[in-house]
């Protein structure tokens, strides 16, 4: 496979590489990442996506690209809404896996003596790990309201505020016309896991602001040096997973029904405007709504826990900075060849990164926040959508560091006890129900987040606002 370098950070694979490709495959990367990229099938997957009906522009990948199911993780693909498709593999099994950042008014020095107790309380209060566990108990009727109304449901039930709603992508509610595509099994799994973290790369992290690159803007947005923050990384749990599983299976037949030739079964899809395409779209949206509420419930519980320590620190202010999705397909309007077109933009392990002119509300003049958590024990970043994102990536950016080692490889090569000891020597508290799973999320299993962020900032897909570092990490 011939890779053509367009400039320092833009690489392209010509559509001539594969007779089935409808558009070129383009990816954004640091030169130091290229040899690593060749070691898995992520670039092959990127070219495979370019064969799907209705794709426009390029099959794209962000600098955190790595191999996934069908579509690469870190992938972005936009399809004409009238002539193109929608694909579960282009969203992923964890629909609206996303990241949330809450700010406090506490300083890291103020919580040093109580941090261990806070971590234990969170660990013992939030359902963690694989399987069932829920912060609330509701019936099927109420669950269907939750996944249809999203954050509006949380507001009605006292778990969220109108102010928080303004700091959630799409205000925490995607359109759900009906739940006809959602199986009873998906609902059963969802009801038992509302307000739970899960396992894998999901985490709760207590961190602090280590550097602010634009001090005036940072101050206006409530940031200050050494400020204690809380990250929550999780998604739609078993509910979203079951929806993806159901449709990925069904679409093997559906693809054939519509005469779509698949070069990889992981690309199974349906025309977006078809009955099957619409059923997945609204089912996916319902799972996205579940995930927004899921993170909201976890944050609400953490706020209650922190409030118990106010007398030992000072009265708590706990405010949402932003909450966003990085596994989703969105119906958006973009300029294609000089004309406005409605597109179904798949972002799989990619974050929406709209510049100022595309954003309403508090971020209208500065761009959408792009939250980029690093791997466990490394820095994380707050970025803002910038002017080139629409032209280069359909308004998309990276979502994290991106794996360089598979989970099995990491487990075989990295000793979890030594890893935990190493992180604790750096002053980072680690709390997990599965010591062995730490190896899978070790810094060495991921790319250098600094390099990943450098790429999107240099391309002006984003601009940097702040750098954050961890104090404690809680995992399932």
What the chain holds in terms of domains, given with CATH numbers, is 4-404+446-475 (3.90.1860.10)
Q: Reduced to 3 states, what is the DSSP secondary structure of residue 374?
A: coil
Question: Which H/E stretch holds residue 106?
Answer: strand 98-107
**CA–CA separation, 305 vs 303, rounded Å?**
5
**Dihedral angle computed from the Cα positions of residues 173, 283, 394 and 7, in that order, rounded to the nearest 10 degrees:** 130
Positions annotated as catalytic residues are 399
Dmax (CA) of the chain: 67
**Residue appearing with tokens 């002006």:** 460
Vertex 300 angle, CA 298 and 309, to 5°: 110
Pair 167, 320: CB distance under 8 Å: yes
Pair 106, 313: CB distance under 8 Å: yes
94-142: per-residue pLDDT in tens? 999 999 999 999 999 999 999 999 999 999 999 998 877 999 999 999 9
Task: Note the pTM of the prediction, 2 decimals.
Answer: 0.97
**pLDDT band at 305, cuts 50/70/90?**
very high
- Token pair listed for 247: 């449709």
**CA–CA separation, 79 vs 60, rounded Å?**
12
What is each CA distance from 315 to 106, 112, 219, 308, in whole angstroms? 9, 17, 20, 10
- Token pair listed for 321: 């900075």
Least confident of 187-196, 225-234, 430-439: 430-439
138 by Cβ neighbours in 10 Å (0-12 / 13-18 / 19+) ranks as: middle
44-64: per-residue pLDDT in tens? 999 999 999 999 999 999 999
State residue 476's pLDDT score. Answer: 83
90-102: per-residue pLDDT in tens? 999 999 999 999 9
Q: Reduced to 3 states, what is the DSSP secondary structure of residue 130?
A: coil
Looking at the chain, how many residues does it have? 476
Question: Which H/E stretch holds residue 429?
Answer: strand 429-432
**Residue appearing with tokens 């944050």:** 299
**pLDDT band at 1, cuts 50/70/90?**
confident
Pair 252, 271: CB distance under 8 Å: no
Examine the pLDDT at 472 and tell me if it is beyond 80: yes
Question: Between β-strands 396-397 and 85-86, what pairing exists: parallel, antiparallel or unpaired?
Answer: unpaired
State residue 435's pLDDT score. Answer: 84
Pair 25, 59: CB distance under 8 Å: yes
Output the CA torsion sign for 69, 71, 74, 76. Answer: negative
Examine the pLDDT at 240 and tell me if it is beyond 90: yes
Question: Which H/E stretch holds residue 220?
Answer: helix 215-220
State residue 445's pLDDT score. Answer: 87
20 backbone φψ class: left, alpha, beta (φ>0; ψ -120 to 50): alpha
CA atoms within 13 A on the CB side of 57: 27
- Token pair listed for 5: 């370098």
Examine the pLDDT at 434 and tell me if it is beyond 90: no
């Amino acid at each position: 496979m011939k890779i053509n370098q367009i400039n320092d950070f833009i690489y392209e694979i010509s559509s001539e590489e594969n007779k089935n490709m409808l558009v070129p495959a383009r990816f954004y990367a640091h030169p130091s990442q290229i040899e690593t990229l060749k070691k898995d099938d992520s670039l092959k997957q990127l070219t495979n996506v370019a064969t799907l009906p209705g794709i426009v522009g390029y099959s794209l990948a962000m600098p955190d690209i790595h191999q996934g199911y069908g579509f690469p993780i870190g992938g972005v693909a936009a399809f004409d809404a009238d002539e193109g498709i929608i694909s579960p593999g282009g969203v992923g099994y964890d629909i609206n896996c996303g990241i949330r950042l809450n700010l406090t008014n506490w300083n890291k020095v103020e919580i040093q003596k109580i941090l261990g107790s806070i971590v234990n309380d969170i660990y013992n209060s939030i359902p963690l790990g694989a399987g069932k566990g829920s912060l609330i108990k509701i019936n099927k009727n109420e669950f269907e309201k939750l996944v249809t109304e999203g954050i509006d449901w949380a507001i009605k039930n006292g778990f969220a505020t109108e102010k928080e709603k303004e700091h959630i992508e799409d205000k925490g509610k995607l359109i759900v016309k009906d739940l006809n595509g959602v199986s009873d099994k998906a609902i059963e799994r969802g009801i038992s896991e509302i307000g739970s973290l899960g396992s894998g790369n999901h985490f709760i992290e207590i961190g602090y602001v280590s550097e602010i690159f634009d001090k005036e803007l940072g101050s206006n947005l409530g940031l200050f040096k050494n400020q204690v923050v809380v990250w929550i990384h999780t998604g739609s749990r078993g509910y979203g997973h079951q929806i993806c599983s159901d449709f990925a299976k069904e679409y093997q037949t559906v693809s054939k029904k519509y005469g779509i030739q698949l070069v990889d079964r992981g690309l199974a899809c349906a025309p977006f405007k078809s009955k099957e395409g619409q059923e997945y779209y609204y089912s996916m949206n319902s799972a996205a709504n579940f995930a927004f509420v899921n993170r909201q419930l976890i944050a609400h519980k953490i706020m209650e826990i922190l409030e118990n320590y106010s007398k030992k620190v000072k009265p708590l202010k706990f405010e949402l900075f932003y909450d966003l999705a990085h596994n989703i397909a969105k119906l958006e309007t973009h300029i294609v060849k000089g004309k406005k077109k409605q597109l179904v933009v798949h972002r799989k392990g990619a974050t929406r990164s709209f510049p100022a002119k595309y954003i309403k509300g508090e971020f209208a003049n500065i761009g959408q926040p792009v939250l980029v958590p690093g791997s466990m024990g490394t820095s994380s970043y707050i970025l803002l959508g910038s002017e080139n994102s629409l032209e280069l990536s359909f308004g998309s950016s990276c979502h994290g560091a991106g794996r360089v080692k598979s989970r099995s490889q990491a487990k075989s090569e990295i000793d979890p006890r030594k890893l935990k000891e190493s992180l604790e020597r750096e002053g980072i508290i680690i709390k997990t129900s599965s010591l062995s799973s730490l190896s899978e999320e070790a810094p060495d299993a991921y790319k250098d987040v600094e390099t990943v962020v450098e790429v999107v900032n240099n391309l002006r897909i984003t601009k940097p606002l702040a750098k954050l570092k961890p104090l404690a990490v809680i995992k399932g």
